[in-house]
Amino acid sequence: MMRTALLALALVSLSFADGGPPDWVPISLLAVLAGLGVLVIFYLISYLVEAEQMRAMATSEMWQVFVTGVMIAGFVGAQALSTEVFAQAFGGAFGAEAGVTHIDYAEEVAASMADAQWNQLSEFMNGIVIPMGNLASIGGTCTFFGAAFSYAGCASINIPFSSASFAARVMSTALMAVNSQLVLLRLASSFFFPVLMPFGLFLRTFHVTRGVGGFLIAFGVAFYFVYPISILVTKGMFDKVSKPVPGSPGIDAVSVDETFNYEQLYTFDVPADSCDPFALDYGYTETQIQNLMDRERMDALLYLFFIGGLFTTALNLLVALSVVRALSRVFGAEVDVSALARIG
C-alpha cells in the first residue's frame, strides 16, 4: 500500500491531464507541492532520527523547490509572452490569423510545406519520372521466318531517367524530414511541454533526480518555445526568396490504352513522338535531358526540397538541441545531446 502510494505520489503531477490536452500549470504546481510534501516528510524524519545532515539536505532542497516555483512563474510569463506577443508578432509577419498560438501556426506552416512538397513530388513523378521511364522501356522487335532482332532504341533515355528517379528519392527524403518536423511539433505541444516538463519539475526537486529533471524541463521548454519559433523564422527566410515552381513538361509517352487504338490500324508506328525505337536518333535522349534539366524548374524544386525540406529542418533541430544543451546546464543537468543531433 505504501509503495503504491509512493509511486502514485510520483505520478500525481500528471493527474490534471484527464480529458483533452493537459494544462501544464496546475500539473506543475501539483508536482512542486508533491515535491515539497516529500521534503517535509524528510525534514520531520530528520528530527525523528536526529540526523543533522539529513535536515540540512532537506533545507537545501527546499530552496530548490522555491527555485522550481520561480521557474514555473517564469514559464507562465514566457508562455503568455509567446502566445500573446510572439504569436501576434510572428503570426502577423507570416500571415497567421489573430489568436493562433506560435506552435499551432508552426504546425500549420509545417503541414502546408509538407503538402506543397507532396504535390510537387507527385507532379514530378507523374509528369516526368513515370513517362520518362515509360519511354526508356520502349524497344522494337522484328521477326521473319524464325529470324528476329530486337532493339532497345530508347534505352539511352535511362540516363536522364536514373537521375530523375534519384532526384525523386531525395525529394521524398526531404518530405519525410518535414513530416518528422510536424510530428515533433505535435510531440512538443501534446507531450514534451504539458507532460514531460511538469514531470521534470517534480524530479528536479530531489537531489538524486535533479539531472533528469533538468533535462526534461530543458527539452520541454526548447521544443515548445524555441523549436516552433525557429520554424517560423526559417519559413520567413524561406519565403523571402520567391520561386514559383513551373509545371512539368508534357512528355509524350505511350499510354496504357494507346496500343489498341483505332489510329494504329494501318501502321507499325510507335504512338509516342518522344521516342521511336527504330528511328535510331539520339536526339530523343537530349530532349528528355532538357525536359529534366529545365533550369527554372530545377532551381525551384531544389529550393523547395533542399532549403525548405532538408536545410531548414536540420537548422531548426540544431537550434532546439543547442538550447536544450544550454538550458540543461541552467536547470542543473549536464547532458550530451549529440546523440539526438546525429539522429537529426
Q: Counting contacts by CB under 8 A, is residue 219 touching other proteins?
A: yes
- Name the residue nearer to other proteins (CB basis): 94 or 118: 118
Alpha carbons 15 and 33: distance in angstroms, whole number: 13
Instruction: Please choose, out of 70-78, 90-98, 239-247, 327-335, the segment that lies near other proteins by the rule CB under 8 A.
Output: 327-335
Q: Which of 96, 216, 292, 320 binds other proteins (CB under 8 A)?
A: 216
Q: Counting contacts by CB under 8 A, is residue 215 touching other proteins?
A: yes
- Name the residue nearer to other proteins (CB basis): 10 or 307: 10
For the bound state, the minimum distance from the C-beta of residue 266 to other proteins, rounded and expressed in Å, comes to 5
Q: Are 90 and 102 in contact (CB under 8 A)?
A: yes
Instruction: Please choose, out of 29-37, 100-108, 207-215, 228-236, the segment that lies near other proteins by the rule CB under 8 A.
Output: 207-215
Burial of 88 (0-12, 13-18, 19+ CB in 10 A): middle
Q: Which of 54, 209, 302, 310 binds other proteins (CB under 8 A)?
A: 209
Contacts of 205 (CB under 8 A, 6+ apart): 31, 32, 35, 36, 38, 39, 61, 64, 65, 68, 213
Q: Are 309 and 117 in contact (CB under 8 A)?
A: yes
Compute, in degrees rounded to 10, the torsion defined by CA atoms 104, 106, 109, 113.
-120
For the bound state, the minimum distance from the C-beta of residue 240 to other proteins, rounded and expressed in Å, comes to 27
Grid coordinates standing for 106? Answer: 508552426
Grid coordinates standing for 10? Answer: 510520483
> Footprint of other proteins on residues 109-148 (CB under 8 A)?
118, 122, 125, 129-134, 136-143, 148
Q: C-alpha angle 337/182/120, rounded to 5°?
A: 125
Residues in contact with other proteins, counted by CB under 8 A, come to a total of: 93
Q: Counting contacts by CB under 8 A, is residue 52 touching other proteins?
A: no
For the bound state, the minimum distance from the C-beta of residue 182 to other proteins, rounded and expressed in Å, comes to 8
Q: Are 331 and 220 in contact (CB under 8 A)?
A: no
Judged by DSSP in three states, 150 sits in strand
Q: Are 230 and 315 in contact (CB under 8 A)?
A: yes
Q: Which of 261, 281, 286, 290 binds other proteins (CB under 8 A)?
A: 261
- Name the residue nearer to other proteins (CB basis): 31 or 87: 31
For the bound state, the minimum distance from the C-beta of residue 4 to other proteins, rounded and expressed in Å, comes to 6
For the bound state, the minimum distance from the C-beta of residue 273 to other proteins, rounded and expressed in Å, comes to 13
Alpha carbons 185 and 19: distance in angstroms, whole number: 20
Q: Counting contacts by CB under 8 A, is residue 297 touching other proteins?
A: no
Q: Counting contacts by CB under 8 A, is residue 24 touching other proteins?
A: no
For the bound state, the minimum distance from the C-beta of residue 312 to other proteins, rounded and expressed in Å, comes to 15
Half-sphere exposure of 121 (CA within 13 A, CB side): 21
